[in-house]
Structure 1
Amino acid sequence: MEHLPDKNSSYKDVAYWDERYTTEQHYDWLGGFSKFQHLLEKIIKKEDSILILGCGNSGLSGDMYNAGYHAITNIDYSSVCIGLMSARYSSHPGMTWHQMDVRQLSFPDASFDVILEKATLDAIMVEEKSPWEVTPETLCFIHQALTEISRCLRPGGRFVSITFAQPFFRKRLYARTEYNWSVRHDSYGEGFEYFVYVMTKGEQLSPEDAALENKLLEEFKSQPTSIPTHQDEDDNDFLSNINL
């Protein structure tokens, strides 16, 4: 890939994305809208108010708009991205673009019916060496983002997370009572499987997910400090090398 960084940590650096967006016209992590449209049509209504996190230069927003979803708010922390995408879709009424951090969403409580992210949280976790031992810094980042997402969802609203992360690992982050949502998942893809997680605001965790949360809390209380094993720090294509 032309725009692969020299090191994985660059995926968390806004300067890397600003430079990338000045030359790259379009890129869709985990496939385009048509790959999972059949799943989203079961989750999202045409009249829903939608927030897309870490929109990048993906065609997702435009494809969804063309499919009839016209109330779409997009955020990204790259001002270059937001400027370019805002100009590209200036003729799409109802589509708005804002520079924003996922940990500090500048929207009132209960603003959206659907909040959607595709590989945004994966990029945040790019430097994690093991899905078993996510660093405290990354856990804090993810918790801040999920707390904000839950706050901005309306009762009955859905947080949709599209990722390569397997349920065994990603549910460890999503299945928490304090977010006040249930968790379910589906999958798509041929050869390489991707996952679509749906968290519904106001629904309780399933008994299985509640048990997982309790188990993880007990493990956290009793777990000794571990020493990470040595691994190469900079694998070029993080999507192909980690399974968070």
Structure 2
Amino acid sequence: MEYLPEENSRYKDIDYWDERYKTEQCYDWLGSFSKFQHILEKHVLKEDSILILGCGNSSMSGDMYNAGYHGITNIDYSSVCIGTMSDRYSDCVGMTWHQMDVRRLSFPDASFDVIIEKATLDAIMVEEKTPWEVSPQADGFIHQALTEVGRCLKPGGRFVSVTFASPLFRKRLYARAEYNWSIQKYGYGEGFEYFVYVMTKGEALSPEDAAVEKKLLEDAESPPTTNVTMQLEDEEDFLFNIES
């Protein structure tokens, strides 16, 4: 691919994204909005206030706007991306764009009904060598981001995470009582399945998900020795089968 970095670590480098966004027009990790629109429609209302994390140059924001979701705030840590997308969608009244770090959201508490991320957390974790044991650095980064998500959600608000990560691995990050949310899982895609997790603030974890957290706490006292390499760890977009 034209934008293939020399090393996966570049996916966490803002300079890489700034350069990429200077020439790349659009790229939709995990497929376009239409692929999972039927799932979002179950949890996101047209009048909801929506925050999209790590918006990139995806068409998702524009597609959602055209579908009737007009209260959309977009953030990305690349100023190049935000400048380009703001100009591209300047005629979309009510949709805004801000340069921001997902770990330090500058919004007041309880600002949004819905917060969405699509492959943003996947990119953060691209260097992880095993899905069974996330590195302290990545775990800390994700925890900071999820804590901010929970803070900015209104009571009853929904955090929607679109990812290639299966429940076996992703629920290890989301199933924590401290986040004060429940988890629902959906799938979409043909041939290669992607996942949509919907976390609802103020609802308790299911007994099954609470058991996931309990086991993680137990494992922390005696970590596993298995070293399983993540699928596609050395491929371009660690999401090599993505449909655009």
Q: Compute the TM-score of the two structures, normalised by the length of structure 1.
A: 0.94
Asked if residue 187 in structure 1 is aligned to residue 187 in structure 2, the reply is: yes
Q: CA RMSD in A?
A: 1.8
Q: Is the 8 A contact 1:7 1:235 kept in 2?
A: no
Structure 1: tracts of 5 or more residues without a match:
none
Secondary structure of 2:148's match? Answer: helix
Q: Is the 8 A contact 2:181 2:200 kept in 1?
A: yes
Q: Measure, in 1, the Cα distance between the counterparts of 2:170 and 2:187.
A: 13
Q: CA 1:230/1:143 → structure 2, altered by over 3 Å: closer, same or farther?
A: closer
AA matched with 2:20: R
Superposed, 1:221-236 pairs within 5 Å as: 221-223=221-223, 234-236=234-236
- Write out per-residue CA displacement over residues 4-45 of structure 1, whole angstroms, 9 at most, x where no aligned residue: 111100100000000000000000000001111111111100
Q: Measure, in 2, the Cα distance between the counterparts of 1:77 and 1:132.
A: 28
Secondary structure of 1:21's match? Answer: helix
Secondary structure of 2:75's match? Answer: strand
Shift of 1:238: 1.5
Shift of 1:62: 0.2
Shift of 1:229: 7.9
Superposed, 1:2-13 pairs within 5 Å as: 2-13=2-13
Would you identify which runs of 4 or more consecutive aligned residues in structure 1 move more than 6 Å? Answer: 229-233
- Write out per-residue CA displacement over residues 142-182 of structure 1, whole angstroms, 9 at most, x where no aligned residue: 00000000000000000000000001110010000000000
Q: Give the aligned partner of residue 147 of structure 1.
A: 147
Q: Measure, in 2, the Cα distance between the counterparts of 1:2 and 1:168.
A: 32
AA matched with 2:172: R
Q: Is the 8 A contact 1:102 1:148 kept in 2?
A: yes
Shift of 1:230: 8.8
Give the count of matched residue pairs: 240
Q: CA 1:65/1:176 → structure 2, altered by over 3 Å: closer, same or farther?
A: same
Q: How high is the sequence identity, in percent, across the aligned residues? A: 76
Q: Compute the TM-score of the two structures, normalised by the length of structure 2.
A: 0.94
Structure 2: tracts of 5 or more residues without a match:
none
Secondary structure of 1:122's match? Answer: helix
Q: Is the 8 A contact 1:6 1:234 kept in 2?
A: no
